Chain A
Amino acid sequence: MSDVQNQARAVLEGPDIHRALTRIAHEILERTRGAESVVLLGIPTRGATLAQRIAGRIAQFEGIKVPVGAIDITMYRDDLRLRPARPLGRTELPPDGVDGRTVVLVDDVLFSGRTVRAALDALNDVGRPRAVQLATLVDRGHRELPIRADYVGKNLPTSKSEKVKVFLEETDGRDAVVLIKGDDR
Protein backbone atom coordinates (compact mmCIF):
# COMPACT_ATOMS: atom_id res chain seq x y z
CA MET A 1 0.00 0.00 0.00
CA SER A 2 2.77 2.42 0.96
CA ASP A 3 4.63 2.18 -2.34
CA VAL A 4 1.35 2.92 -4.09
CA GLN A 5 1.15 6.05 -1.92
CA ASN A 6 4.63 7.05 -3.06
CA GLN A 7 3.68 7.00 -6.71
CA ALA A 8 0.34 8.66 -6.06
CA ARG A 9 -0.24 12.35 -6.51
CA ALA A 10 -3.35 14.16 -5.36
CA VAL A 11 -4.62 16.25 -8.26
CA LEU A 12 -7.73 17.52 -6.52
CA GLU A 13 -8.10 18.10 -2.80
CA GLY A 14 -11.26 18.55 -0.77
CA PRO A 15 -11.80 22.27 -1.55
CA ASP A 16 -11.17 21.70 -5.28
CA ILE A 17 -13.79 18.96 -5.39
CA HIS A 18 -16.14 21.20 -3.46
CA ARG A 19 -15.71 24.03 -5.97
CA ALA A 20 -16.01 21.71 -8.97
CA LEU A 21 -19.30 20.29 -7.73
CA THR A 22 -20.61 23.77 -6.97
CA ARG A 23 -19.83 24.84 -10.52
CA ILE A 24 -21.45 21.71 -11.95
CA ALA A 25 -24.57 22.39 -9.89
CA HIS A 26 -24.72 25.96 -11.26
CA GLU A 27 -24.17 24.74 -14.81
CA ILE A 28 -26.95 22.21 -14.50
CA LEU A 29 -29.29 24.93 -13.23
CA GLU A 30 -28.25 27.20 -16.08
CA ARG A 31 -28.43 24.65 -18.86
CA THR A 32 -31.74 23.13 -17.75
CA ARG A 33 -33.54 26.40 -16.92
CA GLY A 34 -33.55 25.99 -13.17
CA ALA A 35 -33.29 22.21 -13.11
CA GLU A 36 -36.84 21.86 -14.35
CA SER A 37 -37.85 18.20 -14.62
CA VAL A 38 -34.26 17.13 -13.97
CA VAL A 39 -33.46 13.78 -12.36
CA LEU A 40 -29.94 13.13 -11.10
CA LEU A 41 -28.86 9.50 -11.40
CA GLY A 42 -25.50 8.50 -9.99
CA ILE A 43 -23.56 5.42 -11.05
CA PRO A 44 -22.64 3.44 -7.89
CA THR A 45 -20.80 3.80 -5.77
CA ARG A 46 -19.09 7.16 -5.98
CA GLY A 47 -21.23 8.56 -8.76
CA ALA A 48 -24.26 7.99 -6.53
CA THR A 49 -22.59 9.95 -3.72
CA LEU A 50 -21.68 12.77 -6.11
CA ALA A 51 -25.28 12.92 -7.38
CA GLN A 52 -26.46 13.38 -3.79
CA ARG A 53 -23.98 16.18 -3.25
CA ILE A 54 -24.96 17.99 -6.44
CA ALA A 55 -28.63 17.70 -5.49
CA GLY A 56 -27.75 19.14 -2.08
CA ARG A 57 -26.11 22.16 -3.71
CA ILE A 58 -29.02 22.74 -6.10
CA ALA A 59 -31.37 22.69 -3.11
CA GLN A 60 -29.08 25.15 -1.34
CA PHE A 61 -28.84 27.57 -4.29
CA GLU A 62 -32.39 27.56 -5.57
CA GLY A 63 -34.43 25.79 -2.96
CA ILE A 64 -35.52 23.12 -5.44
CA LYS A 65 -35.60 19.47 -4.52
CA VAL A 66 -34.28 17.62 -7.54
CA PRO A 67 -35.11 13.90 -7.52
CA VAL A 68 -31.92 11.87 -7.01
CA GLY A 69 -31.26 8.19 -7.48
CA ALA A 70 -28.72 5.62 -8.48
CA ILE A 71 -28.49 3.31 -11.44
CA ASP A 72 -26.32 0.22 -11.25
CA ILE A 73 -24.76 -0.79 -14.54
CA THR A 74 -22.98 -4.02 -13.60
CA MET A 75 -25.36 -6.29 -15.49
CA TYR A 76 -24.99 -4.11 -18.61
CA ARG A 77 -21.20 -3.97 -18.77
CA ASP A 78 -19.47 -5.11 -21.93
CA ASP A 79 -16.50 -6.52 -20.04
CA LEU A 80 -18.40 -8.88 -17.75
CA ARG A 81 -16.78 -11.92 -19.27
CA LEU A 82 -13.28 -10.60 -18.82
CA ARG A 83 -13.43 -10.86 -15.03
CA PRO A 84 -15.25 -12.97 -12.42
CA ALA A 85 -18.85 -11.92 -11.86
CA ARG A 86 -18.86 -8.95 -9.55
CA PRO A 87 -21.23 -7.89 -6.81
CA LEU A 88 -24.09 -5.67 -7.87
CA GLY A 89 -24.57 -2.07 -6.84
CA ARG A 90 -27.87 -0.59 -5.87
CA THR A 91 -30.36 0.84 -8.32
CA GLU A 92 -32.63 3.34 -6.66
CA LEU A 93 -35.00 5.28 -8.86
CA PRO A 94 -36.96 8.30 -7.66
CA PRO A 95 -40.65 7.43 -7.11
CA ASP A 96 -41.78 9.33 -10.22
CA GLY A 97 -39.30 7.50 -12.43
CA VAL A 98 -37.44 8.96 -15.39
CA ASP A 99 -40.11 9.07 -18.09
CA GLY A 100 -40.20 12.41 -19.90
CA ARG A 101 -37.51 13.92 -17.69
CA THR A 102 -34.00 15.18 -18.26
CA VAL A 103 -31.73 12.64 -16.67
CA VAL A 104 -28.29 13.80 -15.65
CA LEU A 105 -26.04 10.78 -15.21
CA VAL A 106 -23.33 11.36 -12.64
CA ASP A 107 -20.06 9.44 -12.50
CA ASP A 108 -16.75 10.04 -10.79
CA VAL A 109 -14.32 9.41 -13.66
CA LEU A 110 -14.99 9.47 -17.39
CA PHE A 111 -12.48 7.27 -19.19
CA SER A 112 -13.28 4.90 -22.05
CA GLY A 113 -16.96 5.83 -22.03
CA ARG A 114 -17.98 2.19 -21.69
CA THR A 115 -19.54 2.72 -18.28
CA VAL A 116 -21.68 5.48 -19.70
CA ARG A 117 -22.73 3.31 -22.62
CA ALA A 118 -23.78 0.63 -20.12
CA ALA A 119 -25.64 3.27 -18.13
CA LEU A 120 -27.53 4.35 -21.25
CA ASP A 121 -28.56 0.74 -21.83
CA ALA A 122 -29.62 0.35 -18.21
CA LEU A 123 -31.57 3.58 -18.42
CA ASN A 124 -33.34 2.30 -21.49
CA ASP A 125 -34.77 -0.56 -19.41
CA VAL A 126 -36.16 1.63 -16.65
CA GLY A 127 -37.92 4.27 -18.71
CA ARG A 128 -37.77 6.81 -21.50
CA PRO A 129 -36.15 10.09 -20.47
CA ARG A 130 -36.73 13.19 -22.60
CA ALA A 131 -32.98 13.79 -22.67
CA VAL A 132 -29.88 12.36 -21.05
CA GLN A 133 -26.87 14.41 -19.99
CA LEU A 134 -23.63 13.44 -18.35
CA ALA A 135 -21.78 14.99 -15.43
CA THR A 136 -18.39 13.74 -14.32
CA LEU A 137 -15.99 14.90 -11.65
CA VAL A 138 -12.91 14.00 -13.70
CA ASP A 139 -12.54 13.55 -17.44
CA ARG A 140 -9.27 11.74 -18.02
CA GLY A 141 -9.58 11.27 -21.76
CA HIS A 142 -8.87 8.11 -23.80
CA ARG A 143 -12.43 7.67 -25.05
CA GLU A 144 -13.20 4.45 -26.87
CA LEU A 145 -16.77 5.39 -27.75
CA PRO A 146 -18.42 8.52 -29.16
CA ILE A 147 -19.40 9.84 -25.73
CA ARG A 148 -18.72 13.21 -24.13
CA ALA A 149 -19.63 14.84 -20.84
CA ASP A 150 -21.93 17.86 -20.55
CA TYR A 151 -20.53 18.89 -17.19
CA VAL A 152 -16.92 18.27 -16.21
CA GLY A 153 -15.35 18.99 -12.84
CA LYS A 154 -11.80 18.78 -14.11
CA ASN A 155 -10.17 17.76 -17.34
CA LEU A 156 -7.20 15.67 -16.35
CA PRO A 157 -4.67 14.70 -19.01
CA THR A 158 -3.42 11.21 -18.20
CA SER A 159 -1.50 8.44 -19.81
CA LYS A 160 -3.33 5.19 -20.33
CA SER A 161 -1.20 3.33 -17.83
CA GLU A 162 -2.00 5.74 -15.02
CA LYS A 163 -4.92 5.24 -12.69
CA VAL A 164 -7.29 7.84 -11.37
CA LYS A 165 -8.86 7.14 -8.01
CA VAL A 166 -11.56 9.24 -6.42
CA PHE A 167 -11.94 9.27 -2.66
CA LEU A 168 -15.05 10.72 -1.09
CA GLU A 169 -15.78 11.52 2.52
CA GLU A 170 -18.93 9.38 2.63
CA THR A 171 -17.28 6.17 1.40
CA ASP A 172 -13.55 6.68 1.97
CA GLY A 173 -13.29 9.12 4.86
CA ARG A 174 -11.68 11.93 2.84
CA ASP A 175 -12.13 13.94 -0.34
CA ALA A 176 -9.41 13.65 -2.96
CA VAL A 177 -8.72 12.72 -6.55
CA VAL A 178 -5.46 10.85 -6.83
CA LEU A 179 -3.39 10.08 -9.89
CA ILE A 180 -1.45 6.85 -9.54
CA LYS A 181 1.56 6.31 -11.78
CA GLY A 182 1.06 3.15 -13.78
CA ASP A 183 3.32 0.19 -13.42
CA ASP A 184 0.89 -2.13 -15.23
CA ARG A 185 0.85 -5.10 -12.95
Chain B
Amino acid sequence: MKPHLLSTGDLTRDDALLILDTAEELARVSQRSIKKLPTLRGRTVVNLFFEDSTRTRISFEAAAKRLSADVINFSAKGSSVSKGESLKDTALTLEAMGADAVVIRHSASGAPHRLANWVRGSVVNAGDGTHEHPTQALLDAFSIRRRLGRLDGLKISIVGDVLHSRVARSNVLLLHTLGADVTLVAPPTLLPVAVESWPCQVSYDLDAVLPKSDVVMMLRVQLERMNAAYFPSAREYSRRYGLDRDRFARLHDDAIVMHPGPMNRGMEISAEVADSPRSTIVEQVGNGVTVRMAVLYLLLGGSEPAIGGAE
Protein backbone atom coordinates (compact mmCIF):
# COMPACT_ATOMS: atom_id res chain seq x y z
CA MET B 1 0.00 0.00 0.00
CA LYS B 2 1.35 3.38 -1.01
CA PRO B 3 0.64 5.93 1.64
CA HIS B 4 0.37 9.04 -0.49
CA LEU B 5 -2.09 11.76 -1.41
CA LEU B 6 -1.13 12.62 -4.97
CA SER B 7 -4.45 13.04 -6.73
CA THR B 8 -8.06 13.35 -5.65
CA GLY B 9 -8.72 10.77 -8.35
CA ASP B 10 -7.14 8.15 -6.06
CA LEU B 11 -9.69 8.79 -3.33
CA THR B 12 -12.78 6.64 -3.11
CA ARG B 13 -16.00 8.19 -1.90
CA ASP B 14 -15.47 6.57 1.51
CA ASP B 15 -11.90 7.92 1.72
CA ALA B 16 -13.08 11.41 0.86
CA LEU B 17 -15.93 11.31 3.36
CA LEU B 18 -13.60 9.97 6.05
CA ILE B 19 -11.32 12.97 5.50
CA LEU B 20 -14.23 15.42 5.63
CA ASP B 21 -15.75 13.80 8.73
CA THR B 22 -12.38 13.73 10.47
CA ALA B 23 -11.90 17.40 9.61
CA GLU B 24 -15.33 18.14 11.02
CA GLU B 25 -14.30 16.76 14.43
CA LEU B 26 -10.92 18.48 14.25
CA ALA B 27 -12.61 21.81 13.58
CA ARG B 28 -13.83 21.67 17.16
CA VAL B 29 -10.25 21.46 18.37
CA SER B 30 -9.43 24.74 16.66
CA GLN B 31 -12.10 26.40 18.77
CA ARG B 32 -10.64 25.54 22.14
CA SER B 33 -7.84 27.32 23.94
CA ILE B 34 -5.31 24.49 23.64
CA LYS B 35 -5.32 23.72 19.95
CA LYS B 36 -2.60 21.10 20.03
CA LEU B 37 -3.07 17.35 19.88
CA PRO B 38 -0.29 14.88 20.76
CA THR B 39 -1.11 12.48 17.93
CA LEU B 40 1.93 12.87 15.65
CA ARG B 41 4.51 13.41 18.37
CA GLY B 42 7.89 12.23 17.18
CA ARG B 43 6.95 12.22 13.50
CA THR B 44 8.67 14.51 11.05
CA VAL B 45 6.88 16.35 8.28
CA VAL B 46 8.99 18.10 5.64
CA ASN B 47 7.48 20.97 3.70
CA LEU B 48 9.28 20.89 0.38
CA PHE B 49 8.32 24.00 -1.54
CA PHE B 50 9.90 24.55 -4.94
CA GLU B 51 7.36 27.20 -5.80
CA ASP B 52 6.20 30.28 -3.93
CA SER B 53 3.24 29.82 -1.68
CA THR B 54 1.88 31.62 1.32
CA ARG B 55 -1.30 30.02 2.47
CA THR B 56 -0.62 26.41 1.52
CA ARG B 57 2.78 26.27 3.19
CA ILE B 58 1.64 28.06 6.33
CA SER B 59 -1.47 25.95 6.41
CA PHE B 60 0.46 22.67 6.21
CA GLU B 61 2.91 23.92 8.80
CA ALA B 62 0.13 24.89 11.20
CA ALA B 63 -1.64 21.56 10.61
CA ALA B 64 1.48 19.51 11.32
CA LYS B 65 2.35 21.56 14.38
CA ARG B 66 -1.14 21.27 15.83
CA LEU B 67 -0.70 17.52 15.66
CA SER B 68 2.67 17.86 17.43
CA ALA B 69 4.75 16.70 14.47
CA ASP B 70 8.21 18.14 13.94
CA VAL B 71 8.19 20.38 10.89
CA ILE B 72 11.12 21.07 8.61
CA ASN B 73 10.51 23.81 6.08
CA PHE B 74 12.47 23.67 2.90
CA SER B 75 12.12 26.20 0.17
CA ALA B 76 14.05 26.00 -3.06
CA LYS B 77 15.26 29.55 -2.72
CA GLY B 78 18.42 29.62 -0.67
CA SER B 79 18.84 25.84 -0.78
CA SER B 80 21.16 23.61 -2.77
CA VAL B 81 18.48 23.47 -5.45
CA SER B 82 19.69 26.87 -6.60
CA LYS B 83 23.11 25.21 -6.94
CA GLY B 84 21.55 22.70 -9.30
CA GLU B 85 20.71 19.80 -6.98
CA SER B 86 18.17 17.48 -8.54
CA LEU B 87 14.81 16.54 -7.07
CA LYS B 88 16.06 13.01 -6.56
CA ASP B 89 19.12 14.08 -4.59
CA THR B 90 16.98 16.40 -2.50
CA ALA B 91 14.60 13.51 -1.88
CA LEU B 92 17.43 11.23 -0.78
CA THR B 93 18.64 13.88 1.63
CA LEU B 94 15.17 14.08 3.15
CA GLU B 95 15.03 10.32 3.32
CA ALA B 96 18.28 10.29 5.24
CA MET B 97 16.82 12.81 7.68
CA GLY B 98 14.00 10.40 8.40
CA ALA B 99 11.01 12.30 7.04
CA ASP B 100 7.74 10.50 7.76
CA ALA B 101 5.88 12.70 5.32
CA VAL B 102 6.92 15.06 2.57
CA VAL B 103 4.56 17.82 1.52
CA ILE B 104 5.68 18.92 -1.92
CA ARG B 105 4.83 21.91 -4.09
CA HIS B 106 6.56 21.91 -7.46
CA SER B 107 6.14 23.76 -10.73
CA ALA B 108 6.45 20.55 -12.73
CA SER B 109 3.33 18.42 -13.07
CA GLY B 110 4.04 14.92 -11.81
CA ALA B 111 6.94 15.82 -9.51
CA PRO B 112 5.13 14.40 -6.44
CA HIS B 113 4.58 11.10 -8.27
CA ARG B 114 8.30 10.86 -8.98
CA LEU B 115 9.12 11.73 -5.41
CA ALA B 116 6.75 9.04 -4.13
CA ASN B 117 8.99 6.42 -5.75
CA TRP B 118 12.08 7.71 -4.07
CA VAL B 119 11.10 8.19 -0.45
CA ARG B 120 9.76 5.78 2.11
CA GLY B 121 7.44 8.25 3.84
CA SER B 122 4.08 9.58 2.71
CA VAL B 123 4.03 12.15 -0.07
CA VAL B 124 1.34 14.79 -0.04
CA ASN B 125 0.89 16.77 -3.21
CA ALA B 126 0.56 20.45 -2.31
CA GLY B 127 0.26 21.52 -5.92
CA ASP B 128 2.20 20.30 -8.93
CA GLY B 129 2.36 22.53 -11.99
CA THR B 130 -0.99 22.67 -13.73
CA HIS B 131 -1.86 19.16 -12.60
CA GLU B 132 -3.39 18.75 -9.14
CA HIS B 133 -3.81 20.30 -5.71
CA PRO B 134 -5.74 17.68 -3.74
CA THR B 135 -5.85 19.34 -0.32
CA GLN B 136 -7.28 22.50 -1.87
CA ALA B 137 -10.09 20.47 -3.40
CA LEU B 138 -10.69 18.74 -0.07
CA LEU B 139 -10.91 22.02 1.80
CA ASP B 140 -13.24 23.38 -0.88
CA ALA B 141 -15.50 20.35 -0.53
CA PHE B 142 -15.34 20.74 3.25
CA SER B 143 -16.24 24.44 3.03
CA ILE B 144 -19.17 23.71 0.73
CA ARG B 145 -20.48 20.96 2.98
CA ARG B 146 -20.21 23.21 6.04
CA ARG B 147 -22.14 26.01 4.34
CA LEU B 148 -24.74 24.05 2.43
CA GLY B 149 -24.92 20.88 4.51
CA ARG B 150 -24.28 18.45 1.67
CA LEU B 151 -22.41 17.83 -1.58
CA ASP B 152 -24.54 15.18 -3.20
CA GLY B 153 -26.58 16.62 -6.06
CA LEU B 154 -25.21 20.16 -5.79
CA LYS B 155 -24.63 22.13 -8.96
CA ILE B 156 -21.11 23.51 -8.83
CA SER B 157 -19.63 25.80 -11.46
CA ILE B 158 -15.88 26.26 -11.73
CA VAL B 159 -15.16 29.40 -13.69
CA GLY B 160 -12.10 30.82 -15.39
CA ASP B 161 -8.57 29.72 -16.12
CA VAL B 162 -9.11 25.96 -16.08
CA LEU B 163 -6.13 25.39 -18.36
CA HIS B 164 -3.55 26.48 -15.83
CA SER B 165 -5.50 25.41 -12.78
CA ARG B 166 -4.54 22.44 -10.66
CA VAL B 167 -7.37 23.41 -8.34
CA ALA B 168 -9.94 22.85 -11.10
CA ARG B 169 -8.79 19.35 -11.96
CA SER B 170 -8.60 18.21 -8.33
CA ASN B 171 -12.00 19.72 -7.64
CA VAL B 172 -13.69 18.16 -10.65
CA LEU B 173 -12.41 14.69 -9.71
CA LEU B 174 -13.26 15.03 -6.02
CA LEU B 175 -16.64 16.73 -6.34
CA HIS B 176 -17.70 14.20 -8.94
CA THR B 177 -16.72 11.37 -6.57
CA LEU B 178 -18.80 13.04 -3.86
CA GLY B 179 -21.87 13.19 -6.08
CA ALA B 180 -21.88 16.84 -7.15
CA ASP B 181 -22.71 17.98 -10.64
CA VAL B 182 -19.78 20.04 -11.91
CA THR B 183 -19.72 22.47 -14.83
CA LEU B 184 -16.55 24.15 -16.05
CA VAL B 185 -17.03 27.60 -17.51
CA ALA B 186 -14.18 29.16 -19.46
CA PRO B 187 -13.25 30.65 -22.79
CA PRO B 188 -12.24 27.88 -25.23
CA THR B 189 -8.62 29.02 -25.09
CA LEU B 190 -8.46 28.41 -21.35
CA LEU B 191 -9.73 24.83 -21.39
CA PRO B 192 -7.29 21.90 -21.46
CA VAL B 193 -7.17 19.63 -24.50
CA ALA B 194 -8.68 16.49 -22.99
CA VAL B 195 -11.41 18.24 -21.03
CA GLU B 196 -14.09 16.03 -22.65
CA SER B 197 -12.71 13.10 -20.69
CA TRP B 198 -13.22 14.87 -17.35
CA PRO B 199 -16.32 13.88 -15.38
CA CYS B 200 -18.07 17.23 -15.82
CA GLN B 201 -19.89 19.46 -18.27
CA VAL B 202 -18.31 22.36 -20.11
CA SER B 203 -19.83 25.70 -21.01
CA TYR B 204 -18.53 28.93 -22.54
CA ASP B 205 -21.42 31.01 -21.27
CA LEU B 206 -21.22 32.15 -17.66
CA ASP B 207 -24.54 33.99 -17.70
CA ALA B 208 -26.41 30.85 -18.73
CA VAL B 209 -24.81 28.75 -15.98
CA LEU B 210 -24.99 31.16 -13.04
CA PRO B 211 -28.73 31.04 -12.21
CA LYS B 212 -28.58 27.24 -11.93
CA SER B 213 -25.52 27.11 -9.69
CA ASP B 214 -25.45 26.37 -5.97
CA VAL B 215 -21.74 27.06 -5.78
CA VAL B 216 -19.65 29.30 -8.00
CA MET B 217 -15.93 28.71 -7.71
CA MET B 218 -13.87 31.41 -9.36
CA LEU B 219 -10.35 30.53 -10.48
CA ARG B 220 -7.41 32.87 -10.51
CA VAL B 221 -6.25 33.99 -13.93
CA GLN B 222 -2.68 32.73 -13.77
CA LEU B 223 -0.92 35.46 -15.66
CA GLU B 224 2.48 34.16 -14.56
CA ARG B 225 1.92 30.92 -16.45
CA MET B 226 0.59 32.58 -19.59
CA ASN B 227 3.19 32.75 -22.30
CA ALA B 228 0.69 33.48 -25.06
CA ALA B 229 -2.40 35.59 -25.58
CA TYR B 230 -5.28 33.53 -24.26
CA PHE B 231 -7.76 36.40 -24.33
CA PRO B 232 -7.78 39.85 -25.97
CA SER B 233 -7.50 41.94 -22.82
CA ALA B 234 -8.02 41.78 -19.07
CA ARG B 235 -11.06 44.00 -19.46
CA GLU B 236 -12.58 41.76 -22.08
CA TYR B 237 -11.99 38.69 -19.89
CA SER B 238 -13.48 40.38 -16.88
CA ARG B 239 -16.54 41.46 -18.84
CA ARG B 240 -17.30 37.94 -20.03
CA TYR B 241 -16.02 35.73 -17.22
CA GLY B 242 -15.64 37.96 -14.18
CA LEU B 243 -18.03 37.73 -11.25
CA ASP B 244 -19.19 41.29 -10.66
CA ARG B 245 -22.13 42.78 -8.79
CA ASP B 246 -24.65 42.33 -11.61
CA ARG B 247 -23.82 38.70 -12.17
CA PHE B 248 -23.76 38.09 -8.43
CA ALA B 249 -27.32 39.42 -8.22
CA ARG B 250 -28.44 36.73 -10.65
CA LEU B 251 -27.35 33.90 -8.37
CA HIS B 252 -30.08 32.29 -6.31
CA ASP B 253 -30.28 33.36 -2.67
CA ASP B 254 -28.49 30.42 -1.08
CA ALA B 255 -25.69 30.15 -3.61
CA ILE B 256 -22.14 30.69 -2.36
CA VAL B 257 -19.04 32.11 -4.00
CA MET B 258 -15.60 30.59 -3.58
CA HIS B 259 -12.06 31.40 -4.64
CA PRO B 260 -8.90 29.41 -3.83
CA GLY B 261 -6.84 32.60 -3.56
CA PRO B 262 -4.79 34.57 -4.19
CA MET B 263 -7.36 36.75 -5.94
CA ASN B 264 -6.96 39.22 -8.75
CA ARG B 265 -9.59 41.59 -7.43
CA GLY B 266 -11.33 43.36 -10.27
CA MET B 267 -10.35 40.69 -12.78
CA GLU B 268 -12.06 37.35 -12.13
CA ILE B 269 -13.93 38.61 -9.08
CA SER B 270 -14.97 42.08 -7.97
CA ALA B 271 -13.98 43.27 -4.51
CA GLU B 272 -17.61 43.67 -3.56
CA VAL B 273 -18.42 40.04 -4.32
CA ALA B 274 -15.25 38.76 -2.68
CA ASP B 275 -16.12 40.50 0.58
CA SER B 276 -19.81 39.61 0.63
CA PRO B 277 -21.18 37.34 3.38
CA ARG B 278 -21.96 34.72 0.76
CA SER B 279 -18.32 34.41 -0.15
CA THR B 280 -16.43 31.66 1.68
CA ILE B 281 -12.98 32.94 0.77
CA VAL B 282 -11.83 33.69 4.32
CA GLU B 283 -13.25 30.53 5.87
CA GLN B 284 -11.63 28.47 3.11
CA VAL B 285 -8.27 29.47 4.57
CA GLY B 286 -9.26 28.47 8.10
CA ASN B 287 -10.76 25.22 6.88
CA GLY B 288 -7.50 24.53 5.08
CA VAL B 289 -5.66 23.92 8.35
CA THR B 290 -8.37 21.59 9.61
CA VAL B 291 -8.55 19.56 6.42
CA ARG B 292 -4.77 19.23 6.23
CA MET B 293 -4.73 18.05 9.84
CA ALA B 294 -7.22 15.38 8.85
CA VAL B 295 -5.08 14.30 5.90
CA LEU B 296 -1.88 14.15 7.96
CA TYR B 297 -3.64 12.28 10.75
CA LEU B 298 -5.13 9.71 8.41
CA LEU B 299 -1.84 9.20 6.55
CA LEU B 300 0.53 9.22 9.53
CA GLY B 301 -1.57 8.66 12.63
CA GLY B 302 -1.84 4.89 12.46
CA SER B 303 0.31 1.92 11.60
CA GLU B 304 -0.65 2.34 7.98
CA PRO B 305 -2.55 5.04 6.08
CA ALA B 306 -6.31 4.97 6.32
CA ILE B 307 -6.78 6.64 2.95
CA GLY B 308 -5.15 6.83 -0.45
CA GLY B 309 -5.50 3.24 -1.58
CA ALA B 310 -2.97 1.03 -3.26
CA GLU B 311 -0.95 2.09 -6.22
Contacts and interface: CB of A to CB of B under 8 A. Distances in A.
Given A125-B34, A126-B34, 6 more contacts: A75-B297, A75-B301, A76-B38, A84-B304, A84-B306, A86-B302
Nearest to A72: B25
B302 A84 contact: yes
B25 A85 contact: no
Given A81-B302, A81-B303, A90-B25, A126 B32 contact: yes
Interface string A61-99: 000000000001001100011111111111100000000
Interface in A117-148: 121, 125-126
B306 A88 contact: no
Nearest to B306: A85
Given A75-B37, A121-B38, A85 B28 contact: no
A84 B34 CA distance: 26
Nearest to A92: B28
Contacts of B46: none
B32 A125 contact: yes
Please report whether the interface of chain B is mostly helix, strand, loop or mixed according to DSSP: loop
The 9 closest A-B pairs by CB, nearest first: A85-B302, A85-B301, A88-B25, A84-B302, A85-B306, A75-B39, A75-B37, A125-B34, A84-B306
A125 to B, nearest CB: 5
Contacts of A84: 302-306
Interface size bucket, B side? 20 to 34
Nearest to A77: B39
B22 A83 contact: no
A96 B300 CA distance: 34
A83 B303 contact: yes
Contacts of B25: 72, 88-91
A88 B22 CA distance: 6
Interface of A: 72, 75-76, 80-91, 121, 125-126
B55 interface: no
Contact of B22 (A80, A81, A87, A126): A87
Contacts of A75: 37-39, 67, 297, 301
Nearest to A93: B32
B138 to A, nearest CB: 16
A82 B298 CA distance: 14
Contact of B298 (A85, A89, A125, A126): A85
Interface in B128-152: none
A135 to B, nearest CB: 24
B18 interface: yes
Interface string B279-311: 000000000000000000111111111100000
